[in-house]
Structure 1
Amino acid sequence: MSYSDWMSQLPAELHTTPLFKLAIPGSHDSMSYDLDVHSRIIEPKRLIRFSRIYCLRKVVQIWAATQEVSITEQLNAGVRYFDLRIARKPNDTDPTRLYFHHGLYTRTDVETILREINVWAESHRKEVVILSLSHFEGFDKKIASPLHQHLINFIKEVFGAKLLLKTNTPTLKGCWNEGKNVIVSYDHPSYSHSFNFLWRKITYYYGNSMDRTQITAKLCQGLEKEKSAKYFFVCGLNPTLPHSPSILKYILRICDNFTNVARRGLPKMLRWVKQQYSKTPMNIVASDVVTRGNFVATIVKLNLEKRQ
């Protein structure tokens, strides 16, 4: 079954359900498939000074890449939430050019990807895409304001009338009636409060561990807080590498990489999702390797359980 248009195919009674009450597949570190091994290291901080060492950059790339396919392929697979971490390269000759990042910078700039998303949204007008922009690495005090203004102006320009304005109860039917299908969450209160087309930060719950037991325990704590939620929130299934010497037991596995680790653990995490869904609400469920392990199908089908 194709999930490229799954929202428009939901039962009619779900068309008036608030979007923050639907189960929506999302991708964690959505642009990490595009990391540039030739860029400098920007995290972990302790490795920045070793950026000139190619083999070290390669290790960072291998263990920071959480996704395997492009944004358009993720959209076609049914993903509707994107975790987009923005950064500016120091000393870039273009003062307003921005990239994405996760350990390294991406090869592709922000404007190119937002245009790509807009093209897809234009041809799938009944599918609502949620973009979560955050981090803003390299937005130093002297240049932060013009960078934010440039990015916000570009968002308004590229998506135009497709941008859904802030409302208390966004629904599929409401979006369709207004001809809107792009929601932009901007993780900076100074700007999200100032523009009616920028939604506030979306809380992202995650386990901050490589251990599934610890991940699910922390997720349960977060989901308990959202039982009466009236806004978007994310349940992040993604494992997280430790920021300690114990990271070596993972990155020294010569024939392994992060996407393989995530892929191996995903089936058990999805079984937990199906069990947990009857106990606590889930809205956006984000994962690494989103085209693997029946991830999208599992999350979309949670919506049908509400009818039983």
Structure 2
Amino acid sequence: MLRMPNFTDDLENWMGNLPQELKNIPIIHLAIPGSHDTMSYGIKNKAPVAPDADPVVGTLNKFIPCVVKRWAVTQRYDIVDQLKSGVRYFDLRICMKRPENKFYFVHGLFCEEITEPLEHLKDFLRTHPREFIVLDCQHFYLFNPTDHCVLSAELNRIFDKKIYSRNVSQLKDCTLESATENGKQVLIVYRSDACVNDRFWLSQDWPTPWPNEISVKKLRKYLDESLAQRNPDVGFVSQCVLTPSVRYIVPRFTSSLRTTCAKEVDKKLTDWIKAQIPGPFEADERPKSNVFLADFVDIQNSNFCRNVIALNKKILEKNNSAQNSPSRKSI
């Protein structure tokens, strides 16, 4: 019997270590771990309120800034540690901060200016040429059309020839094998029509439906229902996150997003994640999973990333089963 490889022994290089059979499958059909609000680890003490925050957050931050921060931060690992833990899909929220005229990552509060984290990401790709990432520019705040063009130019400058471009490719052709052969390591999803860059992919190329639930039971139901609508020719994100409202947070001000929400998801949704199946499927078949997004990917020694990456074994198991079935054997 063929011995199944252990995909999670080396999270830092998991894509490069995949069997050739999986490297030839479009990345929209692989199971890929992603981090929700990737850059929120960069929120510092006394960080100013960002424009994506609920209006009442400004008042709360004046009196209990430590509480606001505890609920705004969604990741403990920085970008390099997330990469080393296996994360390959990054959820970015970006704001133009004036009068500085600089781009900052945000999530309720201002995080870091974008350049240094993206340069760290670029350095990782340079030293890990067989790894591939997706940058999902999810939300933009206080942008005008010129800002979009400036940000697009900056992303092009940083990642340059590593970008897997929409104008010359199709998603169904984007495999790890083809990307590595051509020196491509970055696919950018840019969810705004304000300044369309033909190198970047569009919202419809990688849907990421938002659950907006605070109950794991309702979250699970939403994930099942939204996945059932997936198109086989595009990517898909399952957001395995709870979304607390201010009303929910206030009576729990001594707690945090990590202890109240993220650990609850890790405890109660892990079995759902393990039950998912990635891989190619036809339009008349039951849709399969692709990207999974989570808060605090570091919980239990990156347990979330390990569980998601391990799902790729199911693709090999199915293929091996099909090859060994009686209908495929010669007579």
Q: Indicate whether the TM-score tops 0.5.
A: yes
Q: How does 1:215-254 map onto structure 2 within 5 Å?
A: 215-226=219-230, 228-243=231-246, 245-250=247-252, 252=253, 254=254
Tell whether 2:81 aligns with 1:76.
no
- 1:40/1:8 Cα in 2 relative to 1: closer, same or farther (>3 Å)? same
Asked whether the 8 Å contact 1:238–1:286 carries over to 2, the reply is yes
Overall identity of the aligned pairs, in %: 27
Distance 1:52 1:285, change over 3 A: closer
Offset, 1:148:
1.3
- Amino acid across the alignment from 2:274: K
Counterpart position of 1:98? 103
User: Is 1:285 paired with 2:292?
Assistant: yes
Is the CA contact 2:236–2:291 (under 8 Å) kept in the aligned structure 1? Answer: yes
CA distance in 1, matches of 2:147, 2:194: 13
SS at match of 2:265: helix
Instruction: Kindly provide the CA deviation profile for residues 70-120 of structure 1, in whole angstroms up to 9, marking residues without a partner as x.
Output: 00100011000000100122x33x32x1101111001x2111211111111
For the pair shown, the structure with the greater C-alpha radius of gyration is 2
Report if the CA contact (8 A) 1:41-1:47 is conserved. Answer: no
State how far apart, in whole Å, the 2-side matches of 1:46 and 1:68 are.
25
Q: CA deviation at 1:189?
A: 2.3
Q: TM-score by structure 1 length?
A: 0.89
Return the offset for 1:48: 5.2
Q: Does 1:53 align with 2:62?
A: yes
Aligned-pair CA distance for 1:40: 2.6
Partner of residue 270, structure 2: 270
Task: Output the CA distance in 1 between the equivalents of 2:288 and 2:181.
Answer: 27
Question: For the residues of structure 1 that align with 2:128 and 2:68, how far apart are their CA atoms?
Answer: 35
RMSD: 1.8
Gapped runs of 5+ residues in structure 1?
none
Matched, 1:258 2:266: no
Q: Once superposed, which parts of structure 1, at least 4 consecutive aligned residues long, lie more than 4 Å away?
A: none
SS at match of 1:241: coil
**Higher mean C-alpha deviation, range 12-21 or range 256-265:** 256-265
Q: Give the equivalent residue in structure 1 for 2:328.
A: none
Correspondence for 2:119 among 101, 110, 115: 115
Confirm or deny: 8 A CA contact 2:241 2:265 kept in the other structure: no
Distance 1:67 1:49, change over 3 A: closer
SS in 2 for 1:208: coil
Structure 1: which amino acid aligns with 2:288? P
Partner SS for 2:233: coil
Match of residue 218, structure 2, among 205, 208, 214? 214
Task: State the partner residue of 1:22.
Answer: 30
